[in-house]
Amino acid sequence: MFESSFLEMVMIGVVALLVIGPERLPTVARTIGKWIGKVRRFVATTRADIERELHTEELRTMLYKQEEELRNLRGMMEEKSDAVRKALEQHDKPQ
C-alpha cells in the first residue's frame, strides 16, 4: 500500500502520544488496529470474489466454445451419415 520507514513510524507515535495522551493511546491504537484488520479482510474478500467471478467468466467462455465445437461436429456427423445413407440407398436400388 504505502511505504514508511521506522523513523516515520516513531514520529507518528510521538505525535499521537502528544495529541491523544498516554491514557487513551493504547485504546486508540487497539481500535485503529481493529479497523486496519477489518479493512484488510474486506480487501482480501473482495479480491477473492473478483478473482472467482473472473474465473467463472473464463470457464463460461470455455464452455461456450466447447458447445460451439460440439455443434459443428454434430453437423459434420449428420452430413456424413446422410451421405453414407444415400450411397447405401444408391447401392441397394434395383438397376
Query: For residue range 22-53, what is the model confidence (pLDDT) as tens digits?
Result: 888 889 889 988 999 999 999 999 999 998 88
Q: CA 28, 30, 36, 38: dihedral to nearest 10 degrees?
A: -120
The answer, yes or no, to whether residue 70 has pLDDT greater than 60, is yes
Residue-level pLDDT at 94? 67
Indicate whether 83 pLDDT > 60.
yes
| DSSP count for the chain of H helices, then E strands | 2, 0
The pLDDT of residue 1:
47
Query: What pLDDT score does 38 carry?
Result: 95
Which residues, 6+ apart, have CB-to-CB distance to 16 below 8 Å? 25, 28, 29
